[in-house]
Structure 1
Amino acid sequence: MKILMVSIPSLHFFRWTSQLQESGHEVYWFDITGMSQSAERIDWVKQKVAWKLRLDFPGRFFIKSKFPRIYSWLQSINERDTAKVFEEYLNEIKPDVVHSFALYVSCTPIISVMEKYPGQKWVYSSWGSDLFYFQNEPKYLVDIKRVLPRVNYLFTDCQRDYKIAKQYGFIGEFLGVFPGGGGFDIEKIKQYKIPVKERKTILIKGFQGRSGRAIPVLKAIEQLQNLLSDFEIVVFGADAEVFDFVNQSALQDWNNFIVLGKIPHDEVVRLMGQSFIYIGNSNSDGIPNTLLEAICMDVFPIQSNPGGATAEIIESGVNGILIENPENIEDIKHLILDVLSDVSLIEKAVCHNKEIIKPKLNFYQIKNQIIRKYSSIR
């Protein structure tokens, strides 16, 4: 089968696609941004990249920063049309199926082409906030209602989004719930783990921005200084808003508090392997990949539950704790207190996740399931 992947160049996409290596399928990638270079991570895939600009002229970034209006005018001439280039590539390779990852970045730009070829099989993978958040934005909702009736097959990372997709017109075949980046190579990442009883780190995802809610967590942590003095608090992936908050708070003076910006994925996994509690908080997401990584690394998860998605993995008080109100600082503080005061809860949760959840996240198990799903497309 010829499969044409349509996606931005992201870690989740590369990990998902790697599941198809040596599957017998012929895989192509259309980089929807048109700006990236060939990806070595999936060098066995035929790649349509770096197609966006007619001419990558000298001084382009200088003009962009100093003369944005001139740059915008130049780009209107210099940039190729996404739908047109995609249609040419579609007709060139004649795939059995097109697979788009994320609706608003990889479905909407090509919907006019896919409507023009109604017989072309189309798979859509919903990621994170793809449907849950953007259904509340009128402009995006128009796109959602246009794309979903045209899509033939659907992957989601939670059952919640399958229900939303049906609400907005999806009538095709549901291929199932799978992690957005596929499974995890549990044998490979265990090299980063230290024994759970030796761990002293509380790891916090540092996103604020549109949907992340790291700052309420940090405000809760700020009230627990005496209780947390024996632990190391590490924030990773912090954006500018989080750095600004920390620089204006008492946290900057703590000798056991570290805030990191964007770091390589291997470093995130290493930090997971040293942590006994992971806290992720947002007002919109699917099943967070970092939550699943925490489970694979035997970390106790405290995670927000937008739209009930996380509750599909975590039973609060059994194998983790759910944050039901991501904005409520007092609630978050008391949840952290509850966990720190009950060592047996952490031990039982880690044991439960090892036995029940982690085996379902194994890369090779999920890979075999995914290959069967593609092979079922007719």
Structure 2
Amino acid sequence: MKLLMVAIPNHHFFQWVNQLKDSGYDVYWFDVTDGGPKSPKVDWVIQIKGWKLKWDFPFRSTIKSKFPKLYKIIQKSNENNIEKAFKNALNSIKPDIVHCFEMQLSGLPILPIMEQNTIPLIYSSWGSDVYYFKQLGVSKHQLDRFYKRVNYLITDCKRDYNLATKNGFKNQFLGVFPGNGGLTIDTTKIKLVTERNTILIKGYDDGVGKASIVLEALALVSKRLLLNKKIVIYSADDCIQQQIITSKILSKLQIKVYSRYHFIQNKKLLELMGTSSIYIANSISDGMPNALLEAMSMGAFPIQTNPGNVTEEVIEHNKNGFLIDAPLNVNEIVQHIENALNDDALRQQAQDFNTNFMQAHYNRATLQPSIDNLYITVYAEMN
């Protein structure tokens, strides 16, 4: 069986596709961004790269960084069309199945070519692409065309399956799976509640992510509760670092910032989660966040927004975490942080429940046979 994956270079995609390494399938990856060299993280996959540039001219990177306007002008005539490149890949590989990950970045660019054939198309929804499609610039007409062509749907939450059907998807649903295919849980890195002294915060502040509101809240949290606490912010936008520097209160706290533009290894992030008292992520839109599932699997007490009621699929408020009702309400987040840090018994109860729940429902080893079987099911139906 030949599988052609269409995706951006993304850690979650790499994790998903690596579950197929020993499946016996011929797996190809069309990188829709054609960004960078071949990835060693999926070195067993046949990677289709180098399609975008007609000529990789001397000093291209220097011109791109120092003269971006000039670079844009040059690239208008120096870049190959993605539809043409994908069509060439399709004709060359002759895949049995095409699987695209995320609609806006991966699905829509190849849609005109997929509309010209009947190859089974699987679509995995990611993040906000179903829930927030209008705000992401996808028109209802584009959505209708895309759903009409998609033969099989995979979502990372129940909410997005319901939304897709309401918006016109009428074909086969393959099920709810985490976007990365599942969690690899190292129980030796899960610390006791009494050994946890870190507050871990997701640092996106990009219009959808609202980490700046979390930092405003943190500045109002009782100083007593923050004594001897390490604060770690990962995947932080530049404005977050600036917010800390300019705040008299935040600048005095023990805060370590990992920039969004400098990769932090997933293994290291999981270890941080295993030592964190609480994990906070604040946004106005999302799918089922993989980082939330990872934090829960490592025993960190989750404080998370609930856009479109997605997070409540795994968090029951006041039982195994706190749901943020109003992402822009600083006082609500202050209250959640203080309540969590003040209640050791609740955090212990949540840790016990969450680690067991994640092992039972999101363990990578448990999900792998089911994911492998998805492709067998689709292949069997077409033959």
Band of TM-score, shorter chain: over 0.9
Contact persistence 2:157–2:287 (CA under 8 A): yes
Q: How does 1:243-254 map to 2 (within 5 A)?
A: 243-254=241-252
For residue 258 of structure 1, the aligned residue among 256, 259, 264 is 256
Contact persistence 1:302–1:320 (CA under 8 A): yes
Give CA deviations for 1:269-289 in whole Å, capped at 9, x if unaligned: 221121121111111111111
For residue 206 of structure 2, the aligned residue among 206, 209, 217 is 209
Query: Cα distance 1:139–1:297, how it changes in 2: closer, same or farther (>3 A)?
Result: closer
CA positional deviation for 1:137: 4.8
CA RMSD between the two structures: 1.6
> TM-score of the superposition, structure 2-length normalised?
0.93
What corresponds to 1:172 in structure 2? 171
Query: Cα distance 1:328–1:85, how it changes in 2: closer, same or farther (>3 A)?
Result: same
- 1:59 & 1:204 partners in 2: Cα distance? 39
Give CA deviations for 1:9-33 in whole Å, capped at 9, x if unaligned: 1101100001111112221111111
CA positional deviation for 1:256: 2.6
What corresponds to 1:26 in structure 2? 26
What corresponds to 2:291 in structure 1? 290
Give CA deviations for 1:69-89 in whole Å, capped at 9, x if unaligned: 432232122111111111111
Q: How many residues align?
A: 375
Query: Cα distance 1:126–1:139, how it changes in 2: closer, same or farther (>3 A)?
Result: closer
What corresponds to 2:371 in structure 1? 370
- 1:227 & 1:353 partners in 2: Cα distance? 24
Give CA deviations for 1:173-219 in whole Å, capped at 9, x if unaligned: 11111111111111xx3343333321111111111112111111111
Give the counterpart letter for 1:13 in structure 2.
Answer: F
Q: What secondary structure is seen at the aligned counterpart in 1 of 2:226? A: coil
What corresponds to 1:227 in structure 2? 225
> Which deviates more, 254-263 or 301-310?
254-263
What corresponds to 1:239 in structure 2? 237
Q: How does 1:56-75 map to 2 (within 5 A)?
A: 56-75=56-75
CA positional deviation for 1:140: 4.2
Do structure 1's residue 96 and structure 2's residue 96 form an aligned pair?
yes
CA positional deviation for 1:168: 2.2
Query: Cα distance 1:194–1:343, how it changes in 2: closer, same or farther (>3 A)?
Result: closer
What corresponds to 1:311 in structure 2? 312
Give CA deviations for 1:129-155 in whole Å, capped at 9, x if unaligned: 112122345544442222111100011
Give the counterpart letter for 1:79 in structure 2.
Answer: E
- 1:65 & 1:126 partners in 2: Cα distance? 33
Give CA deviations for 1:247-278 in whole Å, capped at 9, x if unaligned: 11124432433333243323212211211211
CA positional deviation for 1:327: 0.6
- 1:210 & 1:346 partners in 2: Cα distance? 30
Q: What secondary structure is seen at the aligned counterpart in 1 of 2:352? A: helix
CA positional deviation for 1:46: 1.3
Give the counterpart letter for 2:357 in structure 1.
Answer: I
Give the counterpart letter for 1:106 in structure 2.
Answer: S
CA positional deviation for 1:303: 0.8
What corresponds to 2:9 in structure 1? 9
Contact persistence 1:35–1:51 (CA under 8 A): no
Give CA deviations for 1:320-372 in whole Å, capped at 9, x if unaligned: 11111111011111112222222211111111112223321111111111111
Do structure 1's residue 193 and structure 2's residue 194 form an aligned pair?
no
> TM-score of the superposition, structure 1-length normalised?
0.95
Identity rate, percent: 43
> Which deviates more, 355-364 or 45-54?
355-364
Can you give the 5+ residue segments of structure 1 that lack an aligned partner in the other structure? none
Q: What secondary structure is seen at the aligned counterpart in 2 of 1:259? A: strand
CA positional deviation for 1:66: 4.1
Query: Cα distance 1:205–1:69, how it changes in 2: closer, same or farther (>3 A)?
Result: closer
What corresponds to 2:109 in structure 1? 109
Give CA deviations for 1:40-99 in whole Å, capped at 9, x if unaligned: 221221111121111111111232344444322321221111111111111111111100
- 1:83 & 1:74 partners in 2: Cα distance? 20
Query: Cα distance 1:153–1:272, how it changes in 2: closer, same or farther (>3 A)?
Result: same
Give the counterpart letter for 2:247 in structure 1.
Answer: S
Q: What secondary structure is seen at the aligned counterpart in 1 of 2:134? A: helix
What corresponds to 2:181 in structure 1? 182
CA positional deviation for 1:220: 1.0
Query: Cα distance 1:346–1:43, how it changes in 2: closer, same or farther (>3 A)?
Result: same
- 2:339 & 2:62 partners in 1: Cα distance? 53
Query: Cα distance 1:155–1:133, how it changes in 2: closer, same or farther (>3 A)?
Result: same
Give the counterpart letter for 2:133 in structure 1.
Answer: F
Give CA deviations for 1:285-327 in whole Å, capped at 9, x if unaligned: 1111111111111111111101101011111111111111111
Can you give the 5+ residue segments of structure 2 that lack an aligned partner in the other structure? none
